[in-house]
Amino acid sequence: MAVLFRVHWLSVTIWGVKEYGLKMWQEWFEGVLGPMQAVGHGGRGFKSLYKALLEAKLYADPIAQAGNEGNPYFGLELPGSACDAVPDKLLQEFVIVLERWEKARITRLDLAWDGTPFTPEHVKEAVELEQMRSYLRREKMLYSVSPYEKREDGQVGTSSLRLGSSQSTRMLRVYDKHGPVRLEMQTRAERADMIARDVLVKLPRLWVDRAISHLRDYVDFLEQETEKLLPWWHAFVNNQARAMKTVSDARTIELNRMLAWVDNQVSPTLSVLADVVGSQAIEAFVVSGRRKRGQKFNALLEASAKGGKAHGGQEES
């Protein structure tokens, strides 16, 4: 049976007012998930919550936090069933627009493979035999069996294995309650943002190979002596190499986003001003900007004063 790859969860924070978020939803997703409807209360640090079909949500009006005054943002959340309803091409175009034109951050991305050539028991055995290459510790493995639970395909008996914590930036799950074995990689925060911008901007037919590369950055299963991949893992990864991607610290990521935004949105106008008025106009904008900027830039400025060194975050244990 062929392995089926899918995006199983996508959450994104976008800087802008609530009305812009509702308009964005209408333009991008209302055609497949229906209109957003206010539910009359908030959630997850926001005063307003909207819902569409298949539990898709929009969070707006953030509760005031120090340093974020006058800097509104909203959150879009597409859980598994909602992601299944959105065409891959539409999802790709949405992420491309986020990357090029919006100040946005993907906060959660779950990737899933259905019909894998291995079971939770294969992974459990490999971990116990120390055939796993990962920053994960063996103690973080959680394995459970429900011998009488019915699977969705009619068979009886399910098993599930989890590697990592739901609070970390990556977590792995292998389970068979749907029938075919599913492998899920849940990613959060900077890791989710980095993977989404590396995978989802590509043509959908290329997603699966690139996603496997990021999966192998997190975990590999191989023989200790020869360092050859275990047969079932080799069959699954299909010779796809590791992505070899690391996450920069938050300050470096934010600085790169600011540079990209200025390049895409501001540089054409600045070039016209420089050619027509002269470079002194740009210098005047810099002086004016220093007077207007708020506390939200303090972290970047403090890092620059200390030499601007970027420290990579610790990998999951």
| Amino acid making up residue 194 | M
| pLDDT at residue 308, as a whole number | 45
Summarize the confidence of residues 134-139 as an average pLDDT.
82
Q: Which of 122-136, 177-191, 216-230, 246-260 has the lowest mean pLDDT?
A: 246-260
Summarize the confidence of residues 227-251 as an average pLDDT.
80
Residues 6+ apart with CB under 8 A from 137: 317
| pLDDT at residue 296, as a whole number | 59
For the sheet with 37-38, list strands across it. 37-38, 46-51, 57-62, 73-78, 4-15, 104-114, 182-188, 170-175, 156-164, 141-150
Q: Which helix (H) or strand (E) holds 161?
A: strand 156-164
The residue extents of the domains of the chain are 1-116+182-244, 250-305
Q: What is the mean pLDDT of the chain?
A: 86
| pLDDT at residue 309, as a whole number | 40
Separation between Cα atoms, residue 311 and residue 220, nearest integer Å: 25
Separation between Cα atoms, residue 16 and residue 39, nearest integer Å: 21
Q: Which of 108-112, 209-213, 312-316 has the lowest mean pLDDT?
A: 312-316
Separation between Cα atoms, residue 207 and residue 7, nearest integer Å: 9
Q: What is the DSSP string of 258-309?
A: HHHHIIIIIHHHHHHHHHHT-HHHHHHHHHHHHHH--GGGHHHHHHHHTT--
Q: Which of 34-38, 127-131, 211-215, 302-306 has the lowest mean pLDDT?
A: 302-306
pTM as predicted: 0.77
Summarize the confidence of residues 83-92 as an average pLDDT.
96
Residues 6+ apart with CB under 8 A from 97: none
| pLDDT at residue 197, as a whole number | 94
Confidence band, pLDDT 50/70/90 cuts, at residue 117: very high
Confidence band, pLDDT 50/70/90 cuts, at residue 310: very low
Give the number of other CB atoms < 10 A from CB of residue 170. Answer: 25
Give the number of other CB atoms < 10 A from CB of residue 211. Answer: 25
Which of residues 222 and 165 earns the better pLDDT score? 222
Which of residues 163 and 262 earns the better pLDDT score? 163
Q: Please say if the pLDDT value at position 235 is more than 50.
A: yes
Q: Which of 69-73, 241-245, 254-258, 261-265 has the lowest mean pLDDT?
A: 254-258
